[in-house]
Amino acid sequence: MNGVINLSLWQMISAYVWSYVNILDIRPY
């Protein structure tokens, strides 16, 4: 387990999910 790899994967996943949410224009609040 490499912390740097896990961090980079998390950044990629979070960026993908956030861009997908912006496309759908979802506003939970």
Q: List pLDDT tens digits, range 1-29.
A: 567 778 889 999 999 988 888 887 766 55
pLDDT of residue 5: 78
Determine the Cα–Cα distance for residues 17 and 2; give it in Å rounded to an integer: 23
- The structure tokens listed for 8 are 């980079």
pLDDT of residue 28: 59
Question: Within the chain, where are the H helices?
Answer: 3-24
Domain boundaries, the chain: 1-29
pLDDT of residue 14: 92
pLDDT of residue 15: 92
